[in-house]
Amino acid sequence: MCFTPYMGGMSGIATKSRVYLDHAATAPVLPEAIAAMVEAVATHGNPASVHSGGRAANGIIERSRDAIAAWADCAPDAIVFTSGGTEALALAIHGSASARLLASAVEHSAVLAARGDAVLMPVDGNGIVDFDALFAFLAVGPALVAIQHANNETGVIQPIAEIAAMVAQAGGQLLVDAVQSAGKLPLPAADFVAISAHKIGGPPGIGALIVRDPGTLRAVQRGGGQERGLRGGTPNLPGIAGFAAAVAQSPDWTRIEGLRDALETQLRAAHPSLIVHGAASPRLPNISSLGLPGVKGGTQVMALDLAGFMVSAGAACSSGKVAASHVLAAMGLGEAAGEAIRISLGAATTPAEIDAFVEAWKIMAKRLARA
């Protein structure tokens, strides 16, 4: 996605056009979502009020809930609106009845930082959960098992159906982080599924937890009684409306996967030592984790940004400093865990943008990488 150049001050000198290849971090808000939000903002009334304005606001919420439930293939009362994926995950982690938490070593920090006593399960070289370890941990007793449907750094897809069967047989509960996979893959069957609007062209600040049996969840954020008592607080009316509008759109992910594959093919041909992390496993169609031996991920990100391309490194902390990817480290990549960048495409990404990125990457690699 190309951004309009900014005319800086009185100098009249335009910055160069930007190509956005960081959709896994956040996707541009779709025009349909913006229109729905504007309409919702113009609705005057608290959804809890019984007057006509309140009823109109509540109607927007419940119609949106119905639309998202139909998209997610679940009952409307299974949808609990939250402020995003992180809160949805926290609600399940802290609100479920399970005393133990098992999580794969490649989970998002929203899971890994939620509880200090989480038991981490190893993964193989492609980032897939070790089934022997999962079986051994479940043999100790029931637990809440938190697994990403697809990894946010590599795009690698976990075999959720097989994991769900193991967890159910052990009497546990399964929490699936579907923040990256939602809208690209059918949502899996699980006790809890976390989703977020801003990854699929909806606004930031709104997400949901899909709860198979609301009776198995207790409130973490209490007060007000909203969301059937499971999440207190005045609902984000514009966000919910924008969320519903976003899920109604259907990007051509087959086209996007073709662009991603073409990008990887061209880069491998130009630089045979390039590593595509997780390439041996099924992946989301829009994510590519690329390792350039000998060059730190942060250095690559800055060089590409100067060339006009917005990408991300494997992981970044809140201070903005780039750190080695814990995902790639868990996959056994050692020093290479700090030498990766993530390219993530969106519905508006064009072949011309991919070709331009490839040329910029080749220039960078020639300048920075060892042969």
Check if 317 is active-site.
yes
The C-alpha angle 207, 39, 23, rounded to 5 degrees, equals 40
How many whole angstroms separate alpha carbon 177 and alpha carbon 194?
A: 5
Q: Which of 10, 139, 317, 371 is catalytic?
A: 317
3-state secondary structure of 350: coil
Q: What is the DSSP string of 6-63?
A: PEETTTTEEPPPEEE-BTTT-PPPPHHHHHHHHHHHT--S-TT--SHHHHHHHHHHHH
The number of residues in the chain equals 371
210 to 4, 10, 69, 230, 265: CA distances (angstroms): 38, 51, 9, 12, 38
Residues ≥6 apart with Cβ < 8 Å to 9: none
Instruction: Please check whether residue 82 is in contact with residue 195, taking contact to mean a CB–CB distance below 8 angstroms.
Output: no
The C-alpha angle 196, 149, 243, rounded to 5 degrees, equals 20
Catalytic residues: 317
